[in-house]
Amino acid sequence: MPSSAPSQRQLRVGEQARHALAEILQRGDVRDPEVEGAVISVAEVRMSPDLKIATAFVSPLGVEDKEKVVAALNRNARFIRGRAAPALRQMKYMPEFRFRLDTSFDNFEKIDKLLKSPEVARDLDNEDQDEDDER
């Protein structure tokens, strides 16, 4: 039965691709008005099992419309692929880059807000009191 978890090779190549993308974006190689004003964090790059598709999860910082930045990156994916080629030269095939908005930070923020909400704090205080009563 094949495992759904990524292989060591997928993880290693994904990390190499993440470093290459981060460097390209940091240098400002992508000349697109939507991308030029943004600081873009590359959280993760997931490689397909055949290593031909690299899905990059990015977080544009300091911009109003994050989706526009992701769309601009997808428009420039072939250019970015060419710029990443030297860093990934050991690969048989240069992967096709696809960009997706990284929502993990939003999820962390929602969980943090929930944990700090008065209802949860009250429940946690009640739990602490119950433990003290048992002692």
Chunked mean pLDDT (size 10), the chain, 135 residues: 78 94 92 89 94 95 90 96 92 93 78 79 67 59
Residue 23's pLDDT is: 94
Residue with tokens 């997706």: 100
Tell me the three state secondary structure of residue 4: coil
What global pTM score does this model have?
0.75
C-alpha–C-alpha distance, residues 94 and 85, integer Å = 7
Angle at 73 between CA 67 and CA 51, to 5 degrees: 115
Residue 64's pLDDT is: 87
Residue 129's pLDDT is: 62
